[in-house]
């Protein structure tokens, strides 16, 4: 269950349109390392998470990512508001415009539609947590690539810097969640063989805070 909060996590107020930059930034909505993929990845992985640290971190980071995809969409929306057809053609936006006008639709900057193959939910906690940590670094790299293009435009660079900084924090939290998994490895060594499938689903999730030896 989620309840909507009618505000952005960090303010976006873009006054000058630029369709070329909109197309680049839109990749962080529905591109391979975008916020939709991030949120869906963590929301999916959490069901086979074997301890409460991982359940909490995956749920709470996924929730924040929903706010981030709203921020990215808002940036794209404001960058493409009130464009003329001439501006759309001159700024390399005609191929997007013909299918969506200036509607928000999840695709990569290269035009590849979002699909769930952008992320994994493997049912193996260590595999999944490494996947999530890699995702945060890939998103951080993408924001770095975007920042090289927009760094002289403060009204765009400012919210992008905020989003980049959150990837760093999320990577840290997932790293700590991975540590909580690794701390359980010695008990029955069950992470060596797809534990959520073999053991986890029929067992109550571990209720300790990273210190159990079940």
Partner 1 sequence: MMGRNNCTCQGERSKAQLMETIGQSAFAAYDTLLYMDTHPQDQEAMAYYHKQAGIRREAMEEYARRFGPLTMDLIDETDCHSWEWMMQPWPWERSGKGRC
Binding positions for partner 1, rule: CB under 8 A: 3-15, 53, 56-57, 60-61, 64, 70, 73-74, 77-78, 81, 169-170, 173, 176-177, 180, 209
Known binding residue 65? Answer is yes
Q: Which is nearer to partner 1, 36 or 57 (CB)?
A: 57
In whole angstroms, how close is the CB of 116 to partner 1 at the nearest point? Answer: 25
Q: Determine contact, residues 174/57, Cβ cutoff 8 Å.
A: yes
In whole angstroms, how close is the CB of 5 to partner 1 at the nearest point? Answer: 5
Which positions ≥6 away from 115 have C-beta within 8 Å? Answer: none
Cα–Cα dist 23/79, whole Å: 9
Known binding residue 176? Answer is no
Nearest to 19 by CA among 82, 88, 75, 72: 88
In whole angstroms, how close is the CB of 206 to partner 1 at the nearest point? Answer: 13
Q: Which is nearer to partner 1, 5 or 86 (CB)?
A: 5
Q: If you write DSSP's letter for every residue of 11-48 in order, what string do you get?
A: -----S--HHHHHHHTHHHHSTTSHHHHHHHHHHHGGG
Known binding residue 170? Answer is yes
Which residue ranges make up the annotated binding site? 35, 60, 65, 68, 136, 170
């Amino acid at each position: 269950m989620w309840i909507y909060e009618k505000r952005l996590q960090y303010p976006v107020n873009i006054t000058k349109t630029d369709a070329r930059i909109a197309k680049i930034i839109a990749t962080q909505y529905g591109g391979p390392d975008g916020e939709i993929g991030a949120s869906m990845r963590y929301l999916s992985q959490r069901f086979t998470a074997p301890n409460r640290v991982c359940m909490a971190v995956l749920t709470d980071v996924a929730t924040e990512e929903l706010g981030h995809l709203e921020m990215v969409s808002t940036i794209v929306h404001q960058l493409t508001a009130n464009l003329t057809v001439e501006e759309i053609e001159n700024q390399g936006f005609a191929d997007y415009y013909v299918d969506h006008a200036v509607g928000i639709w999840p695709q990569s900057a290269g035009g590849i539609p979002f699909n769930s193959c952008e992320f994994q939910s493997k049912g193996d906690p260590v595999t999944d947590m490494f996947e999530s940590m890699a995702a945060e670094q890939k998103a951080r790299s993408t924001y770095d690539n975007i920042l090289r293009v927009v760094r002289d435009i403060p009204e765009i660079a400012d919210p992008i810097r905020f989003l980049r900084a959150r990837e760093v924090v999320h990577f840290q939290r997932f790293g700590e969640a991975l540590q909580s998994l690794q701390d359980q490895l010695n008990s029955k060594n069950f992470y060596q063989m797809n534990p959520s499938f073999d053991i986890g689903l029929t067992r109550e999730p571990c209720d300790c805070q990273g210190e159990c030896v079940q």
